[in-house]
Structure 1
Amino acid sequence: MTIKKQTNIDYKSLVAELGISIEELREIVEKKKNYIPSPHQQVSFVQILDEYINNLNRLGESNKRTTTTLVTYLNFLNRVKTFVIENHPHLKIYQLNEEIILTILEKSSPRKEAKLSINTVNKYMAIIRNLYKFALEKGYLEKDLRYKFSLTSVSTLPRYLNEDQIENVLKGALQKTYGYRKRAMLMFLLGTGCRVSELTNIRVSDFNVHEDLIFIRKGKGNKDRYIPIFKEVKTTVLHYLKLSGVHKWSPDLKGYLFCQDEGLVREKKVLERSVQKLVRDLFDSVDLGLDFTVHSFRHTFAVMCLKSGIKKHHLMQMMGHDDPKTTSIYTQLIPQDLKEEVMKHYPFPFEELLNDLI
């Protein structure tokens, strides 16, 4: 016996409202039954991820991506790939969501008791958004799905160290194993504004003591630049070189400035993650929160330069900024120093002053 499905839909009114016939409505329903997913729904997420990774490698080979950027992207994307293969092997490109990425990031916490910073989460979300931009441009998506991976707004004002914090951190570095090297690295960061990736790639010959210039090899943005060697940095680094086996600087020395295999060859450079761990340990020891990172040395350099009277366009060149607005951020930090200075020298109660005036 045929079972008729009861429905409350008034088909005559429906087709009249749509301006179509009953036959046309039936045709639409039949097409829905035999619906074939569009191409973007048939392509697996892992397939597109592999294509994106291959594209990143090509960009790296053509020097359109820095080594540091490439390593960051590939490390994270390979973790995503492993997680998806193990937990969602049939995942399609449109099915990935923020919850899956956050689950992956939760497994990447640097310490069990610590959470990833907002900036770190934003960095990884931005990588996924770039992947989806690639998928859209390649025609794997019918619409832009980057909105699914939101970025959290954070304060744009960078963190920098005051004089007491600098002194305590440098003293702490000196107490570590190979403290002379670790203190020299931090002094270098403070006195040059270099990124940690730039510090680890500098060679002895780049630190030109005759010209008092440091040659920075293709930092962020793939641009070479020169930074003047300030007296304190020069004294500290030359002392470190002497202790580590280089008694006289020479442009013929090709090894790394900061290295693990000390002497004249110097082929084993200090790793970025080692510098980051050192700085985190030192910051923890003086109660500086997670908002302070190794990049805070770069911010500190910028603020000290502006306070000493260096012009913004000169600082922009030393920092390797492409946009003047990036350099201008540091000018917003100086009013805080002004407030602290005023409160230090004029500790009188404001209410008493007002009463005297009245």
Structure 2
Amino acid sequence: MLDFYFSYRGVLKRLRSGALGGEMDRFAEHFFSLGYKQASAKIYLSRIARFSQFAATRSGPMPIHQDVIDSYLSTFITDTPRIGAVSALGHAWRVAPERFIISFPSEEAHPDAPLLAYFSDYLHRVRGLEPKTREGVLLGGRRFLDWFRHHHLGQDLEALTAEQVLAAVEHRLSLSATSSSRAAATSHIRTFLRFLYWAGHHRQDLACVVPRTPSWRMAHLPPRLAWDDVRQAIDAIGATTPVDIRDRAVLLLLATTGIRNGELRAIRLKDIDWRTGEVFVRRTKGKRDRVVPLLEETGAALADYILRARPKVDSPYLFLSFAPPLRPFKCASPVSRIVRKRLRHGGVELGRVAGAHLLRHSLATQLVRQRRPINEVADLLGHRSINTTALYVKVAASQLAEVALPFPGDAA
């Protein structure tokens, strides 16, 4: 596979020499399977070969130790080539881990790492929280511990008092700008204190002393776009490049089904039922699978993406990144960037909230204005409670006026 990137015999001989020379063809196949451009793959292979020759002078063909890697990285004077070498060695380790003996520090040696790991396991196994929710609660617990260690150095958690808890809460609230972030901060502290009591790290459940901050979720209108603006942004996307074709399919699927960012990233090719015009949405936020309708225009955009634009890689997921390595979107940021970019190009003015959820709010608002039954909207969005969907009823001001009762004593 190495001769796909290099043709000169002398170069191939040099690349296949060194401590990792026998693995170079595997490395080349690795970059090819990930969809790296030929020029990028050649750079990575050259970096690995350079380290391979250095390691041969230190350790020979035996497994490469951490001190050899550290010695090699210390030869770089500036940061840019060192960062490139670290990236290349990361690929080499993932492909041939048996050739390395490397120790990776966990949690950057955080002093409370064992306790936080136990807390994370508690959130998963006892509370049954999803990874994204777990991440936020765990961060809240870490921040509480950081504050406690900083202000009460050397004190054990068993000696934690209610006054100290209130001081920590006051500190966190001073850093929160909105009612929702204040409510989340106090909720995370409350959960962590319950864990300390449950795990036997404190003899009292101090969660009861944490005040509840008011957060009226029905007090504000949800961020949303006019449906004409959504339509304008979608129509502004061309169909000349693979990226355009993919982005148009992404926006149409989000705007016409109301699925969440994570649900879109989890869709697989087999989840689309072309005959019935439906998309199977896996394990949603409410921990239930559901089916959403696939409109004709959206189905045509998806078919165009799959047939003409989707990278030819072995992946079961529908949407893939075009930047190497070619793979599914691993987090929410790429999808949010696509939405923001396309809305801006369509001339839509964006506020603070602009992502997949903005299109979800916009669809729900449009359906309510079309007088669709509220339970039908709830089923489409995957809400477990009708009260969650009731948030969108407030935007239908004209319909609310129709059901308003006459004012008492009105002569009319």
TM-score range, shorter chain: 0.5 to 0.7
Change (3 A) 1:318 1:87: same
Structure 1 counterpart of 2:333, from 253, 270, 273: 273
Shift in Å, 1:266: 7.1
1:159 maps to which of 197, 207, 223: 223
Residue from 280, 298, 304 that aligns with 2:360: 298
Residue 163 of structure 1: how far off its partner (Å): 2.5
Please give the secondary structure, in 2, of the residue aligned with 1:321: coil
Q: What SS class does the counterpart of residue 227 from structure 1 fall into?
A: strand
* Aligned partner of residue 120 in structure 2, secondary structure: helix
List alignment gaps of at least 5 residues for structure 2.
1-110, 402-412
Aligned position for 2:125: 58
1:129 equivalent in structure 2: 190
Distance of 1:150 and 1:47 partners within structure 2: 30
Partners of 1:160 and 1:315 lie apart in 2 by: 16
Whether the aligned pair in 1 keeps the contact of 2:249 and 2:301 (CA below 8 Å) is yes
Q: Which one-letter code corresponds to 2:134 in the other structure?
A: L
2:287 is paired with a residue whose SS is coil
Q: State which of 186, 207, 214 in structure 1 corresponds to 2:279.
A: 214
Residue 372 of structure 2 is matched in structure 1 by 310
How many Å separate the matches in 1 of 2:356 and 2:335?
8
Q: Map residues 6-21 of structure 1 onto 2, 5 A cutoff.
A: none
Return the alpha-carbon distance in structure 1 between the equivalents of residues 247 and 148 of structure 2. 40
CA distance in 1, matches of 2:140, 2:237: 30
Cα offset, 1:338, TM superposition: 8.6
Partner of 2:268: 203
Kept in 1: contact 2:140–2:189 (CA 8 A): no
Aligned to 1:144: 207
Q: Is the 8 A contact 1:46 1:81 kept in 2?
A: no
Q: Distance in 2 between matches of 1:86 and 1:226?
A: 50
Alignment counterpart, residue 98 of structure 1, candidates 154, 166, 169: 169
Alignment of 1:321 with 2:321, yes or no, is: no
1:333 maps to amino acid: V
| 163, 173, 190: which one aligns with 2:255 | 190
CA shift, 1:287, in A, is 3.0
Correspondence list, 1:279-290, <5 A: 279-280=339-340, 286-290=348-352
- Answer yes or no: is the 8 Å Cα contact 2:229–2:348 preserved in 1: yes
Deviations 1:137-164 (A, max 9, x none): 5563344345346354453532221123
Supply the AA of the counterpart residue of 1:56.
Answer: L
The Cα offsets for residues 64-103 of structure 1, whole Å up to 9 and x where unpaired, read as 3323323444455456656765676546454241344357
TM-score (norm 1): 0.62
2: CA distance, partners of 1:170 / 1:76: 38
Q: Following superposition of structure 1 onto structure 2, how do residues 251-262 of structure 1 map, counting pairs within 5 Å?
A: 255-260=316-321
Asked if structure 1 preserves the Cα contact closer than 8 Å seen for 2:183 and 2:212, the reply is no
SS of residue in 2 equivalent to 1:287: coil
Instruction: Tell whether the 8 Å contact from 1:193 to 1:301 is kept in structure 2 after alignment.
Output: yes
Residue 186 of structure 1 deviates from its aligned partner by 1.9
> 1:124 deviation in Å?
4.1
Instruction: State which of 303, 309, 312 in structure 2 corresponds to 1:244.
Output: 309
Residue 48 of structure 1 and its aligned partner are, at CA, apart by 6.0
Deviation of 1:55 (Å): 0.5
Relative distance call for 1:240 and 1:102 in structure 2 (3 A) is farther
What's 1:232 paired with? 297
Mapped contact 2:257–2:292 kept (Cα < 8 A): yes
Q: Is the 8 A contact 1:117 1:290 kept in 2?
A: no
- The structure that has the greater radius of gyration is 1
How many residues align? The count is 277
Structure 1 117/280 Cα, relative in aligned 2: closer, same or farther at 3 Å? farther
Q: What TM-score, normalized to structure 2?
A: 0.55
Rounded to whole Å, the distance in 1 between the matches of 2:183 and 2:340 is 20
C-alpha contact (below 8 Å) 1:132/1:146 kept by paired residues: no
Q: Matched residues in 2 for 1:127 and 1:174: separation?
A: 45
* TM-superposed deviation, 1:215: 0.9
Task: State the distance in 1 between where 2:179 and 2:340 align.
Answer: 16
SS at the partner of 2:210?
helix
Counterparts of 1:298 and 1:246, CA distance in 2: 27
Partner of 2:396: 334
Relative to structure 2, which stretch is displaced further, 196-205 or 65-74? 65-74
* Percent of aligned pairs sharing the same letter: 22
The C-alpha deviation readout for 1:238-286, integer Å capped at 9, x for no partner, is: 2222232389xxxxx9611111159xx9743353122234445566773
CA RMSD of aligned residues (A): 4.0
Instruction: Measure the CA separation in 2 of the matches of 1:136 and 1:157.
Output: 39
1:303-336 Cα distance to aligned partner (Å, 9 max, x none): 2233345332232222111111222222221125
Equivalent-residue separation in structure 2 for 1:302 and 1:220 (angstroms) = 17
Q: Where does residue 56 of structure 2 map in the other structure?
A: none
Give the distance between the partners of 1:159 and 1:337, measured in 2 at CA: 20
User: Is this contact kept in 2: 1:173–1:179, CA < 8 A?
Assistant: yes
